[in-house]
Structure 1
Amino acid sequence: MNRLVGISSIIFAVFAWNGATAQPHSVPIGELTDSMRLHPKHALILISTDWCTFCRMQKAQLRKNDDFKKAVPYLYFAELDAGHNEDISFNGTTYSFKATGHGTGSHELAYVLGETGNRLAFPTWVLLNENFEIIFKFPGVIKAGELSQLLETIPRHSTPK
């Protein structure tokens, strides 16, 4: 019996540790349109790449941000990998990866959502309202306090789903 309790404690500790370090719950970008139409609420999109050190830093910040954890029931969070090379359907339009050289390029959707002044920076934060309108765009690293202020602007009157 003691051995069973010990094993159960270890299993619980592993799952608790995994939960504490897990990625923020996100909706796959290809499913975001359907989710927003089925249960309308704001969407926060982080446009990033696999090679971007600052993007990894921002994702780590999200895992630790209590205000983000509290806001998750009232918004969708999606990550858009600008290097994703498959088509993505978003709000009735299909977007593709556009090569700019051998082994380089960016996804059209990343440009549509994140372009500022004819350039795309990583990371870029985009906040959409329930009507898919961009209401906030920030190219670069956003500080924890600034993220908290942004999250405070999201309506909390909607029912969490």
Structure 2
Amino acid sequence: MGIGIKKIIFTLLTACGLLTAVMSRAQTTPFSIIQVDSLLKQTPKPVLILLSTDWCQYCQMQKQQVRKNKKFKEKSALFYYVEFDAESKEPIRFQEKDYVYKPTGANIGTHELALALNGPHRLAYPTWILLDKNYQVLFRHGGVLPPAQLEELLDTLEKVNL
């Protein structure tokens, strides 16, 4: 083989490797809560939401577990994954309703959408919420979801036609 062909093959293999790395990373890149309405209109499927805050160490640990979980990556085409900061100050339109941040003290508060998604339960971080394609809550778990339970949830998503 000539040097030119080797260089072309090397370049193609490198490009394929980079593309694979980008695609595998993209699978665990969460969608924004703002995108959910339009995503569901285009392709209806369940929405898995991780309700968290920036200061919550357990939330950060849970996010790392998700990013490293191979089964999560493999099954990510079955659902939309959303990480939502419960203390976001951005106004959000969700299901044709407007939600805003509600201060509860000096530099502290909660977004109305976080409260709505959480339901009547005491707000805990992290909280996992699974919505079907019609926005109905199918699953809600306040607290860290251990890897085995997360994988069980993913298996359930695959078995049930939501």
Task: Report the TM-score, using the length of structure 1 for normalisation.
Answer: 0.82
Q: Give the AA of the match of 2:69.
A: N
Q: Give the AA of the match of 1:110.
A: A
Q: 1:102 to 1:46 in 2, by over 3 A?
A: same
Name the counterpart of 2:107.
Answer: 103
More helix by share: 2
Alignment gaps of 5+ in structure 2: 1-12
Over the aligned positions, Cα root-mean-square deviation in angstroms equals: 2.6
Q: Give the % identical residues.
A: 38
Q: 1:38 to 1:10 in 2, by over 3 A?
A: closer
SS at match of 1:126: strand
Name the counterpart of 1:3.
Answer: none
Q: Which structure has the greater CA radius of gyration?
A: 2
Q: What's the offset of the Cα at 1:16?
A: 8.2
Task: Report the TM-score, using the length of structure 2 for normalisation.
Answer: 0.82
Q: Hey, what's the Cα distance between the residues in 2 that align with 1:72 and 1:61? A: 14
- The reply to whether residue 57 of structure 1 matches residue 61 of structure 2 is yes
Name the counterpart of 2:143.
Answer: 140
Contact 2:90 2:100 in 1 (8 A): yes
Name the counterpart of 1:114.
Answer: 118
Which of 139, 156, 159 is 1:153 aligned to?
A: 156
Instruction: Please list the CA deviations of residues 22-50 of structure 1 after superposition, one character each: whole Å capped at 9, or x if unmatched.
Output: 89211111111110121000010000000
